[in-house]
């Protein structure tokens, strides 16, 4: 009888030891251990070994807070220009707060799906079909969707942190497929034309810059030349002024002669006043004809004296003598 009691006590002690030993646990590096005592939160354990009261007093739930999970959804949404599109949306997330993940929402996965579909409908609803189909604008759409999903999940207190949102595929209903192909072709043509324009600009702009630099250099050279000429004329004027101060009469005479020489050297016609006793005739002759006649005379031709009674040959450039107030004037 005594041995039976001793055996029962030994079995009880062994059972108690096993029950207490079941309270030891190990929390991994990427995990957090949430300990509940009779269903009430008492602690959140970090990485490492630990002990808690065995079941049914306390329980531990390990939540991986570093693992990134992914969910895919296929909502049908309307764009801003009332076009129906079918999307393939992928949301990557992690359980950043294990307590909120376990206790703040009833079904975190369902909540994430509803929030993600609602957010993408709102973002796509503010975009046109061209923006949704174009690959260049999709990163902006997914970034706005990610921000909206995260704000909504934080407001619900889900403990979920969204890492990325990917819009992997955009499809339109079958009746719209031809229009979508045309739109894609137009977008491709647009990119091609833009690249051609950029290539043309890359070739034209350097040439225009070179022409502009040449014009600037020519302008600088012209400026230097004009300034040098002006400075030379100013220096000449200063020298003339000094000479005039020393000899006014001689300087005036010299300036007059130089001016008349310059004027007559460019004249195409000349007035010839005959000597006294030649009848007082004044001839108005074209200079080019005089030059031509001079050339003929130099080659051995004879010239006839010009007087009031002489009658020049009648040709296309003849000289006619007309008497006015007792004097004769030759007119062309």
pLDDT per residue as tens digits for the range 232-255: 989 988 888 888 888 888 888 888
Q: What is the CATH number of the domain that holds 124?
A: 3.30.479.30
- The answer to the question of residue 14 being in a domain is no
Per-residue pLDDT reduced to its tens digit, 11-38: 778 777 787 777 777 777 777 788 788 8
Can you tell me the distance from the alpha carbon of 232 to that of 255, in angstroms, rounded to the nearest whole number?
18
In this structure, are 76 and 92 located in the same domain? yes
Residue at which a domain ends, from 152, 172, 192: 172
Residue 271 has pLDDT above 70, yes or no: no
85 & 112 share domain: yes
Taking each helix axis from N to C end, the angle separating 138-156 and 108-125, rounded to the nearest 10 degrees, works out to 140
Q: Are residues 73 and 149 in the same domain?
A: yes
The whole-number pLDDT of residue 318 equals 40
Dihedral sign (CA 218, 222, 223, 224): positive
CA distance 182 to 190: 12
Q: How many whole angstroms separate alpha carbon 107 and alpha carbon 115?
A: 12
pLDDT grade for 306, boundaries at 50, 70 and 90? very low
* 166 and 76 both lie in a single domain: yes
Q: Is 274 exposed, middle or buried (0-12, 13-18, 19+ CB in 10 A)?
A: middle
What is the arithmetic mean of pLDDT over 287-309? 48
* In a shared domain, residues 49 and 85: no
Domain assignment present for 59: yes
Q: Is the pLDDT of residue 141 over 90?
A: no
* Same domain membership, residue 162 and residue 90: yes
Phi-psi category of residue 57: left, alpha or beta, with phi > 0 → left and psi -120 to 50 → alpha: alpha
* Lowest mean pLDDT, pick from 78-92, 219-233, 242-256, 296-310: 296-310
Domain, as residue range, for 32: 19-64
- Please state, as a whole number, how many other Cβ atoms lie within 10 Å of the Cβ of residue 246: 8
What span, in angstroms and rounded, lies between the C-alpha atoms of 262 and 258? 6
What span, in angstroms and rounded, lies between the C-alpha atoms of 277 and 312?
Answer: 20
| Confidence grade of residue 308 (pLDDT, cut at 50, 70, 90) | very low
75 and 113 in a single domain? The answer is yes
* 182 part of a folded domain: no
| Global pTM value | 0.48
Is there a domain that residue 114 lies in? yes
Residue 230 has pLDDT above 90, yes or no: yes
- The residue from 172, 206, 231 where one domain ends is 172
Question: Do 155 and 78 lie in a common domain?
Answer: yes
Number of domains comprising the chain: 3
Question: Is the domain of 166 the same as that of 83?
Answer: yes
Q: What are the φ/ψ torsions at residue 166 (nearest 5 degrees)?
A: -120, 130
60 and 80 in a common domain:
no
Taking alpha carbons only, the member of 65, 156, 68, 73 closest to residue 108 is: 156
Residue 177 resides in a domain: no
Judge residue 157's burial from the number of C-beta atoms within 10 Å of its C-beta, 0-12 exposed, 13-18 middle, 19 or more buried: middle
Measured over the CA atoms of residue 7, residue 10, residue 16 and residue 21, the dihedral's sign is negative
Checking if the pLDDT of 328 tops 50, the result is: no
Per the CB < 8 A criterion, the answer to whether 71 and 116 are in contact is: yes
Q: Which of 15-29, 68-82, 166-180, 302-316 is least confident?
A: 302-316
Indicate if 60 and 75 belong to the same structural domain: no
Q: Which of 172, 196, 211 is the last residue of a domain?
A: 172
Domain assignment present for 255: no
122 falls within a domain: yes
pLDDT interval class at 135 (50, 70, 90) = low
84 and 23 inside one domain: no
On the question of a cis peptide bond just before residue 62, with omega within 30 degrees of 0, the verdict is no
In a domain, 99, yes or no: yes
Most confident of 32-41, 111-120, 128-137: 111-120
Complete DSSP assignment for 173-209: -GGGHHHHHHHHHHHHHHHHHHHHHHHHHHHHHHHHH
């Amino acid at each position: 009888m005594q041995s039976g009691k001793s055996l029962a006590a030994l079995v009880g002690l062994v059972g108690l030891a096993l029950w207490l030993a079941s309270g030891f646990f190990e929390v991994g590096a990427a995990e957090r251990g949430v300990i509940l005592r009779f269903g009430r939160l008492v602690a959140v354990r970090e990485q490492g070994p630990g002990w808690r009261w065995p079941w049914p007093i306390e329980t531990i739930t390990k939540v991986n807070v570093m693992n990134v999970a992914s969910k895919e959804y296929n909502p049908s949404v309307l764009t801003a220009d009332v076009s129906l599109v079918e999307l393939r949306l992928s949301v990557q997330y992690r359980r950043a707060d294990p307590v909120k993940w376990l206790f703040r929402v009833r079904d975190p996965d369902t909540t994430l799906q509803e929030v993600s579909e609602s957010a993408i409908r709102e973002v796509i609803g503010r975009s046109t079909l061209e923006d949704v189909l174009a690959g260049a604008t999709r990163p902006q759409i997914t970034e706005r969707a990610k921000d909206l999903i995260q704000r909504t999940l934080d407001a619900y207190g889900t403990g979920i942190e969204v890492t990325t949102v990917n819009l992997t595929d955009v499809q339109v209903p079958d009746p719209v497929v031809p229009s979508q192909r045309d739109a894609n072709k137009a977008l491709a043509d647009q990119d091609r034309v833009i690249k051609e324009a950029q290539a043309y600009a890359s070739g034209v702009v350097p040439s225009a810059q070179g022409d502009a630099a040449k014009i600037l250099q020519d302008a600088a050279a012209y400026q230097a030349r004009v300034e040098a000429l002006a400075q030379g004329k100013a220096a000449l004027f200063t020298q003339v002024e000094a000479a005039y101060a020393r000899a006014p009469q001689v300087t005036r005479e010299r300036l007059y002669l130089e001016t008349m020489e310059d004027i007559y050297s460019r004249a195409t016609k000349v007035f010839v006043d005959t000597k006294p006793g030649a009848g007082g005739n004044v001839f108005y002759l074209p200079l080019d004809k005089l030059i031509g006649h001079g050339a003929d005379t130099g080659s051995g031709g004879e010239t006839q004296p010009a007087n009031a009674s002489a009658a020049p040959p009648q040709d296309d450039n003849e000289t006619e003598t007309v008497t006015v107030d007792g004097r004769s004037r030759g007119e062309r």
